[in-house]
Structure 1
Amino acid sequence: MSKAVSKNMVESLSIAAFRVGYPVVTDALDAFHDKVKPKGVTMTALFAKAAAMALAQHPVVNASCKDGKSFTFNSNINIAVAVAINGGLITPLLQDADKLDLYLLSKKWKELVEKARAKQLQPREYNSGTFTVSDLGMFGVDRFDAILPPGHGAIMAVGASNPTVLADKDGFFSVKNKMLVNVTADHRIVYGADLAAFLQTFARIVENPESLTL
C-alpha cells in the first residue's frame, strides 16, 4: 500500500495544480446533522452528498485528464472519500453519489468503511473516483491542503468547524461556526472561476442543508 501511495504522490507532482480556499458557515449544517445523526448519517456523508450535488451543477470540476492529453467529462459522479486504515490510506467510492438518497448514501458509506478497515474492498470500490473528499476536521485540524490524486480534476480538504466572530453587511457582529474548505484542482482542466463557482454552490448547499434530503 505504501508503494502505491508513494507512486501516486510522485505522479501528482507532474500535474499543474492550484488551490483555492473558501469559508463556509456551518451552524445550519450542525443543527441538521444533530437531527439526522440518529438515522446513521455522518458528517462525512453530508459533505460527500453536498459535493456531489455541487458537481452536478459544475461538471468541469468532475472532469479528468489521465495522460496529459485526453480530457474527459465524466458521466458519473463517483465521490472518493479518504479513510485512514492500519498501515495506510484508501479512498472508498460512493458511486453516483448525486443520485443516491442521503440515507442510502450513508448506509453505503458505513458498509464501505467497514470493508475498507477489514481490507475487503474490491478494486471497483476504490479505483474509479472522479472527485475526492478528505476530512480532517474530526481531528481538530482547521485547514490543510490535499494532494491531487492522478486522474482526478479536484480534491476537497475539509477542516474543523470552529466558533468565529463574523460581521454582517450592516456591521453587526455575531458568533457563528465556520469551517475552511480548500480545493486542489488540475489547472489543465479547471480554471479559477470554475472552482470559485463550484465552491459558492457547495457553500450554498451546506448553509441550506435541507436540500440534501431532496
Structure 2
Amino acid sequence: MPALSSTMTEGKIVSWIKSEGDSLSKGDSVVVVESDKADMDVETFYDGILAAIVVAEGQTAPVGAPIGLLAETEAEIAQAQAQAQAQAQAQNSPSRPDASSIGSNSAKSVATPYARKLAKQHGIEIGAVAGTGPFGRVTPGDVKGKGVTMTALLAKATAMALAQHPVVNAGCRDGKSFSYNGSINISVAVAINGGLITPVLQDANKLDLYLLSQKWKELVEKARSKQLQPHEYNSGTFTLSNLGMFGVDRFDAILPPGQGAIMAVGASKPTVVADADGFFSVKNKMLVNVTADHRIIYGADLASFLQTFAKIIENPDSLTL
C-alpha cells in the first residue's frame, strides 16, 4: 500500500484494474486506491505476473502493507498463491504469529532467481537473509546488503563518482602546488580509543562491493588494534566522514591536510516525497555536503560530482558487484 499523501496512514482498495494471472510491465496501472485525499491509480514499479491479490476490493490496509504479490515467472505463481493463502489463514487465526515471524518464514522460502544466484556465488545462506520484497521475498539487494557494509557502499559510490569527475580527486601536498591523483583511494574516518584515524580503501573504484567490505572490516580491526601501516592511513585522495550512524542529520567536516575534498554523510531517514506526477511516497533520504580547497577544486566541479554521486546512490544496481 503506497503513501498517496503526506497524511495517509491507510488506504482502501476501490477496484483492481488487473486480475490474478495478468502480466504486468513497469508503469502499468494495477489498482485504484482510496486515500484520505482522493481515489488514485497505483502503478507497478516492477515487471512480473500478478500472482495473488492480497487485499480485496472494499478492504483497507495500512501504508506499507502488501496488497498484491508479483511472480517473476509462471513457475513461481503456485508458490506465491500458496504463500498468500497461508498468510491469510495466519491473519484469521486467533494465535496469529507476529509480523516479524511471517517475514522471516517468507524470506527463507521465497527468493528471486538472481538473488539465489548471488547468494550461491558469495557463499551466503539464502535462508539467513531477511527479504524486503513483497511477502518478504529476498531480492538481489537484500543479498548484497547481507555481505556489504554501508561504508563499502558509500566508498564505492564515491569512487565511481570520482572516476567521472577526476578534478575532484586532487591534493595539495606542499601547500603550494596541487596535483590530480591517478588512483582513487578513499579515506574513511574511524573513531578509536584516544582519537581518530582514517584507514584507506585503495583503488576503491576497481574493487567490487564484497571485496571492499572485506577490506574495510580488516582495516577497522587493524585500526582499533593499532596495527595499521603508514600507507594504510596516509595514502587517501578523498575522505568520507559518516556521522549518520550516530543519528546526526547534517554536519560540516574539516578538510584533512593534503587532500582536496572531504564529504560529510548524514543519517538516512524515511521522508515523504512527491514524484514528477505529484504522487507521494516514503523514501529514505540523507544529506551530504562537501568541504573543499577552492585553490584546487571549483564549486561547479563539486556540484557536478555531487549530482553524479546522488544518481549512483539512488540507483543501487549501478553499484556493480
Q: TM-score, normalised by structure 1?
A: 0.82
Counterpart amino acid of 1:140? G
Aligned to 2:165: 58
Aligned to 2:3: none
Higher RCO, 1 vs 2 (CA within 8 Å, ≥6 residues apart)? 1
Q: Is the 8 A contact 1:33 1:42 kept in 2?
A: no
State whether structure 2 residue 270 is matched by structure 1 residue 140: no
Give the distance between the partners of 2:245 and 2:290, measured in 1 at CA: 18
2:269 counterpart (150, 162, 166): 162
Aligned to 1:86: 193
What SS does the corresponding residue of 1:98 show, helix, strand or coil? helix
Give the distance between the partners of 1:176 and 1:211, measured in 2 at CA: 18
Q: Is the 8 A contact 2:172 2:258 kept in 1?
A: yes
Give the distance between the partners of 1:190 and 1:37, measured in 2 at CA: 33
State whether structure 2 residue 145 is matched by structure 1 residue 37: yes
Give the distance between the partners of 2:186 and 2:306, measured in 1 at CA: 16
Give the distance between the partners of 2:297 and 2:142, measured in 1 at CA: 35
> Displacement of 1:32 after TM fit?
6.8
What's the CA shift string for 1:148-197, capped at 9, x where partnerless? 00111110111111111222223332221100011111111111110010
Larger helix proportion, structure 1 or 2?
1
What's the CA shift string for 1:105-141, capped at 9, x where partnerless? 1111110000000000011100111000011111111
Q: Is the 8 A contact 2:185 2:236 kept in 1?
A: yes
Structure 1 gap ranges (5+):
1-30
Aligned to 1:15: none
Aligned to 1:171: 278
Give the distance between the partners of 2:207 and 2:170, measured in 1 at CA: 20
Counterpart amino acid of 1:123? P
Q: Is the 8 A contact 2:168 2:297 kept in 1?
A: yes
Counterpart amino acid of 1:164? T
Aligned to 1:197: 304
1:95 counterpart (187, 197, 202): 202
Of 59-68 and 72-81, deviating more is 59-68
> Displacement of 1:67 after TM fit?
2.5
Counterpart amino acid of 1:59? P
Give the distance between the partners of 2:288 and 2:141, measured in 1 at CA: 18
> Displacement of 1:34 after TM fit?
3.6
Q: Is the 8 A contact 2:175 2:258 kept in 1?
A: no
State the percentage of identical aligned residues: 82
Q: Is the 8 A contact 2:185 2:237 kept in 1?
A: yes
Q: Is the 8 A contact 1:32 1:209 kept in 2?
A: no
What SS does the corresponding residue of 2:283 show, helix, strand or coil? strand
Give the distance between the partners of 1:201 and 1:129, measured in 2 at CA: 21
Question: Which portions of structure 1, spanning 4 or more consecutive aligned residues, are displaced by more than 6 angstroms?
Answer: none
Of 160-169 and 43-52, deviating more is 160-169
State whether structure 2 residue 256 is matched by structure 1 residue 149: yes
Structure ID, larger Rg: 2
Aligned length: 184
> Displacement of 1:33 after TM fit?
5.8
Aligned to 2:211: 104
Give the distance between the partners of 1:33 and 1:129, measured in 2 at CA: 29
RMSD: 1.6
